[in-house]
A and B are shown apart, each in its own frame.
Chain A
Amino acid sequence: MILLLSFASSIGLYITKNRAFTSYVMASQGIIIFTYLLFMIFVSSPFLKLDFAPVNGADLNPLLQDPLLAIHPPIIFSGYVFYAVTFCYVIAGLFSGFSQQLFQHLKIWAGISWFTLSFGILLGSIWAYYELGWGGYWFWDPVENVSLMPWIAGTALTHSLVYSRDKLLLSWMVFLAILTFLLSVFGSFIVRSGILNSVHSFAADPSRGIFLLSIFAAFSLISFVLFIKNFAKMESAWPKLGSRNYLVVLNNIVLSGILLVVFIGTLYPILTEVIFSQKLSIGPDYFSQLISPLVLVLIALFTYEQFMSLSINTIFKLGGLLVVSAIFLFIILPANVYLNLIFCFVLLVALVIKAIYDFQQRKALIQPHKVLGHFSVTLMTLAIIFNHNFSERVDIRISPGDAIKVMNADIQFESIDIVAEQNFDSVKANFVVNENFTLTPEKRIYKVGGQITSETAVNSNIIKDYLIVLGDRFEDGSWSAAFSIKYGILIIWLSAGLLLVSMLYGTIRRT
């Protein structure tokens, strides 16, 4: 298990540094490693053989024969491990007190963890978009949510570390670090115990579930007790109303709100199943309806933060200007453009203008990683809203040689080929879109397992993606195909990349 390896290496890395808190850090890491070692030996031994050996092997599920798929879970898992390291530093702080040096380490580790976890989640999204063929990048699937929960808590943690400069709200920061770690332990329980239905179905085994639950319970108990006992060590000041730190408090509250939504949305179906024996589903709408306004609030908060050094008067004037321009845009744009889109766009422009202005004034940006990070979040939100509201799809029935015009695109079905590959046979369809580019969706039949998979064909540009998924062949020789246009996908990947870069820069410059 990677968890073990990474722990070992992180200990090795830090064994040379001899600080007051190092021994506590190592002690807590030791305990965590020991627990997972127990888990590995007694419950999930990798050396057990299968009871019977399938002839030729059962063949790997074709969907899993993809490098992106193979690497995203280990990366997410490493993210969890790094958060465990972060957690160990916080526990060490509970024993030895929080020094500036400890904060330095905490910031670096929180940064590394956040970067790794986000990177893993992003890779998972990209894989889902290109490989699953559903044309989506986030499905609010329970296992996705489970990885998102520590991410949200970790994001709040990263922001709350800002207080450390003024020694504010220490207890809250500690609480968030513990929460992030517990949520990742909780995540491994949820995923591996098999109590959820998800695309990510793993080998489920009740004894494993019980063990993971006990680990979760034990860690919760220990950190809870430590937290209460050492509460006195975390005595700290409270931010002033309207100060920067107060905005960070608001940010943390809103992020916790988002966390709560994800938590409820993920666990409510389990609750009804266990208590009322009633199966129900919570779909994407629940999450998007509740979370999108909260994200807009966050964006408004950090945009305001950029401007708060100005005098109240200027802020009022600028705010007025923003509102007026938003209303103006709302009136002149076609009626099907949404208010949240305009809101997001105006804030994005405000952020950019402010950044350029600052740059001209000082020839450098203060905290460029923060500016870039907030900019990318706004850009990503903009792209997601855009994608959500404008993407279209249509199912068509078309014969080779025919053409059709749907959603303002000309689709020409040129030909269909049958190709034999090493481990699968495939049917490739050639579609020409807008007389401009060719899309070749495929259907594959794998030789060993006999599974049939569809390979989506995607053509991306910065505004929109064209996707075709090949369906079934009808008896008259025509085929069904799903044709969709998705907006802003590249911008989403791009802004996520920028976000990662900003976090990387913010972390590296501390070392």
Chain B
Amino acid sequence: MKNLAIFFSIFFLGFFISAEQLYPGLDEQQLKRLNYLSDNIRCPKCSYGNISSSNAPISKDLKEEIAQMILANKTNDEIYDTMTERYGDYILLNDPEKRNPLIFLAPLIVLIISISVVTIYTIKKSK
């Protein structure tokens, strides 16, 4: 308790700035992009979860860095590239281009084949 009290004792002394977005200078569209990007980037220190939902300090730093990159007019791909360059593919939660399209197609193909096989079989049986 004592530590905490010291930690927060300077609390009311500081001058107050008025309330604002945590990442200043971003317009609404850019904020949406920031949310979208940080939903899709995994927290490198955590066992699971993206950086927008994690409380780890590294996640906040990364979010801040992404906000800076958005302000510097970087595209989403460039931002993803910076992240994978530093931390590897693991960090991207949603990476359709680099990912094997087979894992998207396989379940759908199996589904379509099984529905048609069953239907054809049923039609044959009904005759």
Contact = CB atoms under 8 A, between A and B. Distances in A.
Nearest to A264: B103
A356 to B, nearest CB: 33
Interface residues of A, number: 68
Nearest to B57: A472
B48 A198 contact: yes
Nearest to B111: A257
Contacts of B92: 280-281, 283
Given A198-B47, A265-B103, A399 B17 contact: yes
Nearest to B112: A257
B30 interface: no
A416 B4 CA distance: 13
Contacts of A264: 103, 106-107
A396 interface: yes
Given A133-B55, A249-B118, A420-B1, A402 B16 contact: yes
A440 to B, nearest CB: 16
B3 to A, nearest CB: 8
A401 B22 contact: no
B21 A257 contact: no
B49 A139 contact: yes
A240 B123 CA distance: 8
Contact of A478 (B4, B10, B16): B16
B29 to A, nearest CB: 13
Interface stretch (A218-226, A284-292, A324-332): A284-292
Contacts of B118: 249-250, 253
B114 interface: yes
Given A264-B106, A284-B93, A477-B12, A397 B115 contact: no
B110 A257 contact: yes
Contacts of B22: 395-397, 471, 480
Contacts of B54: 134
A445 interface: yes
Contacts of B16: 399-402, 476-478
A418 B4 CA distance: 8
B122 to A, nearest CB: 5
Closest 6 CB pairs of A and B: A283-B93, A477-B14, A134-B53, A395-B22, A404-B19, A398-B19
Interface of B: 1, 4-5, 8, 10-23, 31, 35, 40, 42, 47-50, 52-55, 60, 63, 88-95, 98-100, 103-104, 106-108, 110-111, 114-115, 118-119, 121-123, 125-126
Given A198-B48, A260-B110, A281-B90, 19 more contacts: A134-B49, A134-B53, A197-B48, A238-B121, A238-B122, A268-B100, A280-B89, A280-B95, A286-B104, A396-B20, A397-B20, A397-B22, A402-B16, A402-B18, A411-B19, A413-B19, A472-B60, A476-B15, A477-B12
